[in-house]
């Protein structure tokens, strides 16, 4: 009787693991990011996919690495046992690396053979997914935020949120434009963006110097400083958007 119970418990454990795997294995796991000051990409992105043949699940991973330039995505088979996974992929054309790890509700954890450090890739969106924010949407969100937070501190928080939205939109447009260009044009874009970042920093310093000077005392000038900086980033995003329209 004891052996029967143990066998049943083992079956339940395996069945439970299969249910967990079915629920949480698939998804996008990524720490890939753009370093705006350098125009470089760093990190790893893994998208776990499920397909079925005659009811039997099969898993694959779309894997991409970035050390400056993002590598081409590669589709590789994945071995899945419960929430534990294994796969082998090529690391930026240098060597094959084997990943051994496991999936949680929040991330993909493990390590790649031949690469230093543990991997902890948050579950979320791909870096290449479009951000639906537009000029009108960002403006409306800021207006609504300021209507609900009409104190000076609330206004500053809303304008800071607006800055982050425009900065995110700028980076999205940069990534998308870059993906449409040939190698020579990509290098030119990268150089231009680096120069723009240098100019942006100088412009921000100028704004702070002017709007902190004599005649600009009072709490009203804090929001004006941030909004003036927001306009600098907004104009650059719109410029990249116009370039993108020309190449699409």
Backbone angles phi, psi at 130, to 5 degrees: -70, 145
Q: Of 136, 153, 118, 151, whose CA–CA distance to 238 is shortest?
A: 136
Q: Taking the complete model, does pTM exceed 0.75, yes or no?
A: no
Q: Would the pLDDT of 210 be above 50?
A: yes
Three-state secondary structure readout of 206-236: HHHHHHCCCCCCCCCHHHHHHHHHHHHHHHH
Domain ranges in the chain are 20-124, 135-247
- Residue in this structure with the two tokens 């804090």, named with its chain if needed: 222
Predicted confidence at residue 1, as pLDDT, reads 43
Q: Looking at the structure, give the CATH architecture of the domain made up of residues 20-124.
A: Beta Barrel (2.40)
**pLDDT of 56-105, one tens digit each?**
889 999 999 999 888 989 999 999 999 999 999 999 999 999 999 999 98
Predicted confidence at residue 37, as pLDDT, reads 66
CATH topology classification for 135-247: Substrate Binding Domain Of Dnak; Chain:A; Domain 2 (1.20.1270)
- Residue in this structure with the two tokens 């589709």, named with its chain if needed: 75
In this chain, the answer to whether the domains covering 20-124 and 135-247 adopt an identical fold is no
Q: Would the pLDDT of 3 be above 70?
A: no
Q: Would the pLDDT of 40 be above 90?
A: no
């Amino acid at each position: 009787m004891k052996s029967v119970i143990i066998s049943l418990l083992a079956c339940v454990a395996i069945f439970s693991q299969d249910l967990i795997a079915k629920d949480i294995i698939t998804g996008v796991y990524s720490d890939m990011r753009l370093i705006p000051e350098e125009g470089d990409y760093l990190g790893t992105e893994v998208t776990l996919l499920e397909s079925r043949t005659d009811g039997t699940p099969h898993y694959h991973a779309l894997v991409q690495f970035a050390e400056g330039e993002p590598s081409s995505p590669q589709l590789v088979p994945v071995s899945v046992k419960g929430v534990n996974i294994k796969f082998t992929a090529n690391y930026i054309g240098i060597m094959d690396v084997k990943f051994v790890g496991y999936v949680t509700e929040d991330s993909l954890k493990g390590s790649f053979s031949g690469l230093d450090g543990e991997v902890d890739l948050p579950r979320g969106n791909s870096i290449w997914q479009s951000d639906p924010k537009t000029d009108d949407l960002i403006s409306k969100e800021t207006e609504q935020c300021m209507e609900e937070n009409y104190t000076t501190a609330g206004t500053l928080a809303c304008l800071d949120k607006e800055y982050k939205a425009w900065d995110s939109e700028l980076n999205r447009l940069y990534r998308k434009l870059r993906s449409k260009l040939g190698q020579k044009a990509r290098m030119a874009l990268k150089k231009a963006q680096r120069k723009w970042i240098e100019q942006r920093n100088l412009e921000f310093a100028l704004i702070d110097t002017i709007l902190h000077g004599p005649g600009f005392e009072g709490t009203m000038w804090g929001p004006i400083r941030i909004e003036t900086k927001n306009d600098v980033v907004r104009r650059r995003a719109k410029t990249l958007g116009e370039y993108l329209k020309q190449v699409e």
